[in-house]
A and B are shown apart, each in its own frame.
Chain A
Amino acid sequence: MKRFTLAAGLLASVVLPSTALAVELEVTHWWTSGGEAAAVKVMADAVTGAGITWVDGAIAGGDNARPIIISRIAGGDPMGATQLNTGRDAEDLIKAGLMTDLTDLAEAEGWKDIIRPAKLLDACTYEGRIYCVPVNIHSFQWMWLNRGVYEANGLAVPTNWDEFVASAATLKEKGITPLAIGGEPWQINGMAGVFTVALGGLDLYKKLNIEKSAEAAASPEMTKVFEAVAAARGLVDEGYVGRAWNDATNMVITGKAGAQIMGDWAQGEFSVAGQTAGKEYDCLPGLGFNPVLDTGGDAFFFPKPADGNQEVIDAQLKMASLLVSPEVQVDFNLKKGSLPIRADVNLDAANACMQKGIEILNNPDNVLPSGEQVWSSDTTGQFEDLWVEFFTTPDMTVEDAQARYVEIVSSAD
């Protein structure tokens, strides 16, 4: 059987490239763009400095990375550490006992007291034990505007959603798309989420995203949200199908569009284009009505090593401890454009929009749980389907759509 000798020969030639003295941690993540990679490097340097070898496993695109990460953990070949969405995605993996328990470390370092808002740590907690490390705070609740577009057309730069809608007709006449958007489901879903807080109000958002209240889903406040999404149909251009979010941001940067509703990661695009907050562009948290943040963000999990190797577990705990340390938090978040998970760090270097975010964050009432911590990915997917269908089907009435929405909320697990 020639085949087998061939395979065996190949096996022999590739087994273990080096016998490492230091403990190796393979870290998988989907941060591959310039700014993201620079941020990961902060982590990698800290980990390397602690005598642990960081084996980088970058796979671009969460959708590409997730199947790989999950099938490797489930298949019994876990990496040392991995980025994964907080919230319910990882629940099954924790339940199956596949994740290293970080509780002792967290208690020793007093994570409960330093990590704010507390909801972040809650997302990592399962049955009272802590299984992941939140590393930053991202929020979707922002609108980004190109000031120049408005000024050049003799319009005041909108300070809230209503003013924005009022000025849309003028922009359209001039051949400028008022609202830049991409047709990817999560973008449309996210926009609807922003409307829920900004137009429906905090109560509505909390009732939905904490209590999963079907009553709130059927309320007249929610109707306003559907009406706003219906109105947004008329504010976008024809070519939005399949457009990536950063291409939509680029439309705002170049003045082809007036504004975009997008999370704070959009800010990276403006700064790469050399634009300054408050000068070329403006940001409206909560569409200018309800300046709040939701606390989505990234987190790291540490899958249990297959052989239970204590050295690896020690390295994992060391890395976890480093990720929440003030030094890593500051450097990492400045590079990533996100907000740190602890308040006791100095962020003077942050730009105007980030400062706005920090200010909002200082009042715990302004901090909302992000949907992904309440809804399973499956339910989120159903919301996405609904919003996409509603947004792209002008014939679909607000009543029909809201009825379907209520159905999803009441049947959510």
Chain B
Amino acid sequence: MMPTSVPIDAYSPHGRKPKRIMEPRRIMLYAVLLVAVLYYILPLWVMVMTSLKGMPEIRLGNIFAPPVEITFEPWVKAWSEACTGLKCEGLRAGFWNSVQITVPSVIVSMAVASVSGYALSFWKFRGSEVFFTILIFGSFIPYQVMLYPLVVICRELGIYGTLPAVILIHTIFGMPILTLLFRNYFASLPEELFKAARVDGAGFWGIFLKVLVPMSVPIFVVATILQITGIWNDFLFGVVFAGTQNWPMTVQLNNIVNSTQGVKEYNLNMAATMLTGLVPLTVYFLSGKLFVRGIAAGAVKG
């Protein structure tokens, strides 16, 4: 035990001074975090190990054991050789399509939803809450139920089977949760800010872009995580609405992983899944920098 008996709460918090790592409470803290890590990482371990094994080893095998002979073949195959239907181009065939769908969908859906959320928290008008309640309700509707009506809507708009159709669909389905996310976050910000900005003569867009957006970086990160993951991993809407020439990568993933006939190549399946997951994962990791404490507080005082 260390001699100091000063409770941790009594430390004067001078900014982001790293704590000494050997403090008992810190050890407890890290212990809890590490136990949680075990739960989360166990399946990843299985997936990585499996993806590095050859098929004979998998058939024999202990799923937790590391590969006796490491092979990267499943990864190469998943990316560039695996056959889906008549084409044998692997996941890369749909990669750009997925990017083409995801980037505009994420941007459009976040733009629409953040503005809606902003209006709902600072510029309420008669009926705005009714619409909001409908949106919340909408987030609970199983989306496959809406497939037929949406196909008809897109056909009537003349965009069925094109990228704008799938962007529209993602914007629609992202709207309930995202609007809620932004509205509730904005509502928790001090209203004095808003009033001060109005006194300064800022209008609807001015307040939004100059005051609120810079203060809301963490929630924008959360929204990005949610949308990138949802849209990148979407299979159904991409196949139904985007048109064959725009089919996303998940179509190939599904075809690789879900083929019912032939021996299941588990190593290939695992590699394909992780490859598909790499894009959202990269975003998670990179956006972490924007999560650092103090952004909100700093902007408030700014």
Interface residues of A (CB under 8 A from B): 2-3, 6-8, 10-11, 14-15, 17, 26, 29, 31-37, 40-41, 44, 54-61, 64, 67-68, 71-72, 74-77, 244-247, 250, 254, 265, 268-269, 272-273
Supplied contacts A7-B104, A14-B246, A67-B240, 8 more A-B pairs, CB within 8 Å? A32-B83, A32-B258, A56-B86, A56-B87, A64-B235, A76-B151, A246-B260, A273-B263
CB-CB < 8 A to B258: which residues of A? 32, 60-61, 64
Contact across chains for B255 and A60 when beta carbons are under 8 A apart: yes
- B interface, over-half SS: helix
State which of A37, A68, A246 has its C-beta within 8 Å of the C-beta of B85: A37
Q: Is B104 within 8 A of A33, CB to CB? A: no
Instruction: Indicate if the CB atoms of B151 and A10 lie closer than 8 Å.
Output: no
In whole Å, how far is A334's beta carbon from the nearest beta carbon of chain B?
A: 15
Indicate if the CB atoms of B160 and A60 lie closer than 8 Å: no
User: Which candidate, B3-11, B162-170, B220-228, is the interface stretch facing chain A?
Assistant: B162-170
Interchain Cβ contacts under 8 Å between A and B, 24 examples? A3-B108, A6-B104, A7-B168, A10-B164, A10-B167, A14-B162, A26-B244, A33-B260, A36-B261, A37-B83, A59-B239, A59-B251, A59-B254, A60-B255, A60-B259, A71-B147, A71-B240, A72-B240, A75-B151, A75-B152, A75-B160, A76-B155, A77-B160, A250-B263
Q: In the complex, what residue of chain A is closest to B153 when comparing beta carbons?
A: A75
The answer to whether A268 touches B162, judged by C-beta atoms less than 8 angstroms apart, is no
Using A17-B245, A76-B155, A268-B261 as known contacts, say yes or no to A56 and B85 having CB atoms under 8 A apart: yes
Mark contacts of B215-256 with chain A using CB atoms, 8 A cut-off: 1 yes-contact digit, 0 otherwise: 000000000000000000001100110001110000100111
Chain B residues positioned under 8 Å from A273 (CB to CB): 263
Which A residues are in CB contact (< 8 Å) with B240?
A: 67-68, 71-72
Asked whether B85 lies within 8 Å of A40 as measured between CB atoms, the reply is: yes
User: In the complex, which of the residues B148, B155, B168 contacts A77, with contact meaning CB atoms closer than 8 Å?
Assistant: B155
Chain A contacts for B245, CB-based, 8 A: 14, 17
Q: Which residues of A contact B87 (CB under 8 A)?
A: 56
Task: Please name all residues of chain A whose beta carbon is closer than 8 Å to the beta carbon of B152 when the two chains form the complex.
Answer: 75-76
- Return the chain B residue nearest A336 by Cβ: B261
- Report yes or no: B160 in contact with A44, Cβ–Cβ below 8 A: no
**A residues in contact with B154, CB < 8 Å:** 75
A41 touches B264 (CB 8 A): no
Instruction: Please name all residues of chain B whose beta carbon is closer than 8 Å to the beta carbon of A14 when the two chains form the complex.
Output: 100, 162-163, 245-246
Establish whether residues B260 and A58, one from each chain, have CB atoms under 8 Å apart when the complex forms. Answer: no
Chain A residues within 8 Å of B167, by CB: 7, 10
A244 to B269, CA, bound (A): 15
A61 to B257, CA, bound (A): 10
Report the bound CA distance from A144 to B250 in whole Å: 35
Question: With a CB–CB cut-off of 8 A, which chain B residues contact A2?
Answer: 111
Specify which chain A residues have a CB less than 8 angstroms from the CB of B255 in the assembled complex: 32, 58-60
Contact B263 A71 (CB under 8 A): no
- Residue among B159, B261, B262 with max Cβ neighbours from chain A (10 Å): B261
Going nearest first, the 7 A-B pairs with the smallest beta carbon separation are A58-B85, A75-B151, A33-B262, A33-B261, A60-B258, A33-B259, A60-B255
Measured between beta carbons, the chain B residues less than 8 angstroms from A72 are 151, 240
Q: Which residues of A contact B263 (CB under 8 A)?
A: 246, 250, 269, 272-273
Beyond A7-B164, A14-B162, A67-B236, whether A37 also contacts B264 by CB under 8 A is no
Say yes or no: A272 contacts B262, CB within 8 Å: yes
B112 CB within 8 Å of chain A: yes
Interface string of B130-166 (1 = CB under 8 A from A): 0000000000000010011001101100011111100
* CA–CA, A332 and B235, complex, Å: 30
CB distance from A79 to the nearest CB of B (A): 8
Closest to B111 in A: A3
How far in angstroms is the closest Cβ of chain A from B240? Answer: 5
Chain B residue contacts of A6, Cβ below 8 A: 104, 107-108
* Distance in angstroms between the alpha carbons of A10 and B108 in the assembled complex: 12
Q: Judging by beta carbons under 8 Å apart, are A247 and B264 in contact?
A: yes
Contacts of B161 in A (CB 8 A): 77
Report how far A44 CA is from B259 CA in the complex, Å.
19
B239: nearest chain-A partner, CB-CB: A68
Q: How far is the CB of A184 from chain B (nearest CB, A)?
A: 10
**Given contacts A71-B240, A75-B148, A75-B155, A10 and B264 within 8 Å (CB-CB):** no
Please give the distance in Å from A312's CB to the nearest CB on chain B. 15
Query: Are A244 and B264 also in contact (CB < 8 A) when A3-B112, A58-B86, A71-B148 are?
Result: yes
Tell me which residues across on chain B come within 8 A of A246, comparing CB atoms: 260-264
Asked whether any CB of chain A lies closer than 8 Å to the CB of B84, the reply is yes
The distance in angstroms between the C-alpha atoms of A363 and B50, with both chains bound, is 49
Distance in angstroms between the alpha carbons of A32 and B252 in the assembled complex = 10
- B147 in complex: contacting residue of A11, A61, A67, CB < 8 Å: A67
Scan residues 254-285 of chain B and give those whose CB is less than 8 A from a CB of chain A: 254-264
The CA-CA distance from A363 to B121 in the complex, in Å, is: 76
